[in-house]
Structure 1
Amino acid sequence: MITFYDFPSTKPGQAWNPNTWKTRYSLNYKQIPYKTEWVEYPDVAGLCKKIGIPPTSKNADGSDLYTLPAIYDSSTGTGIADSLLIAEYLEKTYPDTPKLFPHGTAVLQSSFNDAFMSKLEALWQFVLPVTATRLNPSSEEYFTRTRTAVFGKPLKDVFPKGEEHVAEWKKLKDGFVAIDGWYQKSGGSTFIMGETPVFADFIIGGFVFFAKAIFGEDSEEWKDMVLWNGGRWDKIVISLEKYAQVV
């Protein structure tokens, strides 16, 4: 049995994090049995060290950085973090399940992730200040403190206002226009490679669901986003609903 570690929010049972969504979509798509354990931000490092899940990178001070998503597979005794590494592990360990990386596409999809993230640089200033308010107290404190250090100013002041808000929101929209162009080249299909999703679609779906969950369906931001590119982004979330179970 796989144990999947995810971040909770103030709404019990609601998944929200874009990176952990990639793994949840992958597990559900491949129909691999798993259970979710919710982990608050300050507890991630201790958990990973305890069960042998390696760090994913380094902090600014050179210490190990432990992140989610992470899984522990009791059938193989394997603990692993990072959504792409988890997807590759699932593909190799459970070969008789639907493919996340059709033959010859693994490198392409990894490169796609880098290209996709480059188009979302304007997103963080809008979502991170709001994200903090959606977290339980211990995670809210940790999240606010660490992101304040990154931005060099109070997290609440990161959210753009006035003319800056208009300009930065346009940058975000332009980024999604570019991503929509990639879909256009696939012949207008629902997903990047046709009518069947691959890991790249879970990357996009995870971030779009993240925006929906953090802003809220009734927010002006989400109401605007659903109109972009012929409603493509809301359609993607809807198309992936069958793989969005939280178990």
Structure 2
Amino acid sequence: MSPDTILEFYDIPSKLPGIAWSPNTWKTRYCLNYKGIPYKTIWVEYPDIASTCKRIGAAPTTTKSDGTPLYTLPVIRDPSTGIAISDSPRIADYLEKTYPDTPRLFPPGTRALQAAFYDEFEDNHLKMASFVIPKVALILNPRSFEFFKEDRSKRFGSIAMEDLYPKGEKKVELWKRWKDTWGVVASWMEDTDTFIMGNDTITFADFVVAGWVIWPRHLWGEDSEEWKDIASWHGGRWGRLIERLSEYETIV
């Protein structure tokens, strides 16, 4: 692949030096690194996501409650085909079909199972919102922070970001609930030690899970008590997953 055909990968920056933080964009970054497809990261602040997507021809991910289009990252643009793709599952599908001679994200016979896993997993992991939303606000650059704060205030009411983070007994209760939610996911994988389709088979579904696991590691820090606790949950499964996938964490 020549330099002028390197894939463009659109991600959200932060104040954390050399760190990609978004769980959704991590799903795609893992895929690109695993498949060994040359790419470059283009960092886009939150207020610029919609205009950037429109400019490069990337479709909205979904629609808002008022029916207007919602543009989100990740997005890739492939100069070799002129195609721009949004949403991590659609991106994974595009990479698999367009670059068939790279490691497989969907081994034969697993696509339907992975799709079912994705839908169920996405519905089960969002109990962390009150913990991670305030942490995200702290790491964003000023323009993105103002956009993020306004957008999230519409979802959570007028409560200040610092007041959204649980404290005291409420924190203990919600932290346990968060752990129990991941326990449901762990129960789906009780026959494997690390990866969903078997201990030696990496798939897109593993990158989906890893994207959400690496998120708190970056938000709290690798040496934090919070991350050490999460990494130890369910026999150390989540810390082990991130460690096994560490070679695909490159920030290009």
TM-score between the two structures when normalised by the length of structure 2: 0.93
State the partner residue of 2:244: 239
State the partner residue of 1:224: 229
Shift of 1:60: 2.7
Shift of 1:157: 2.3
Map 1:20-99 to 2 at 5 A.
20-99=25-104
User: 1-side partners of 2:109 and 2:245: how far apart?
Assistant: 23
Which of 132, 135, 158 is equivalent to 1:130?
A: 135
Q: How many residues align?
A: 245
State the partner residue of 2:188: 182
Letter in 2 for 1:167: E
- Which SS does the other structure have where 1:3 is aligned? strand
Which of 200, 206, 229 is equivalent to 2:205?
A: 200
Q: State the percentage of identical aligned residues.
A: 53
Letter in 1 for 2:197: M
- Which SS does the other structure have where 2:126 is aligned? coil
State the partner residue of 1:167: 173
Shift of 1:144: 1.2
For each residue in 1:73-130, what CA deviation from the matched residue of structure 2 results, as whole angstroms up to 9, or x when unmatched? 0000000110000000001111111110111222221221122123213211100111
- Which SS does the other structure have where 2:85 is aligned? strand
User: 2-side partners of 1:113 and 1:166: how far apart?
Assistant: 28
- Which SS does the other structure have where 2:17 is aligned? coil
Could you say what the CA RMSD is over the residues aligned between the two structures, in angstroms? 1.2
User: 1-side partners of 2:231 and 2:134: how far apart?
Assistant: 21
Contact kept? 1:127, 1:215, Cα under 8 Å: no
User: 1-side partners of 2:49 and 2:187: how far apart?
Assistant: 37
Map 1:129-168 to 2 at 5 A.
129-154=134-159, 155-168=161-174
For each residue in 1:41-91, what CA deviation from the matched residue of structure 2 results, as whole angstroms up to 9, or x when unmatched? 001011111111111111233221110000000000000110000000001
Q: Structure 2: which 5+ runs fail to align? A: 1-5
Query: Would you say 1:15 and 2:20 are equivalent positions?
Result: yes
- Which SS does the other structure have where 2:40 is aligned? strand
For each residue in 1:194-227, what CA deviation from the matched residue of structure 2 results, as whole angstroms up to 9, or x when unmatched? 2121001001111110010012223332121122
Query: Would you say 1:191 and 2:195 are equivalent positions?
Result: yes
Letter in 1 for 2:79: S
Q: Structure 1: which 5+ runs fail to align? A: none
User: 2-side partners of 1:103 and 1:143: how far apart?
Assistant: 40
- Which SS does the other structure have where 2:41 is aligned? strand
Letter in 2 for 1:229: H
- Which SS does the other structure have where 2:189 is aligned? helix
State the partner residue of 1:5: 10
User: 2-side partners of 1:41 and 1:88: how far apart?
Assistant: 25
Contact kept? 1:119, 1:172, Cα under 8 Å: no
User: 1-side partners of 2:33 and 2:225: how far apart?
Assistant: 31
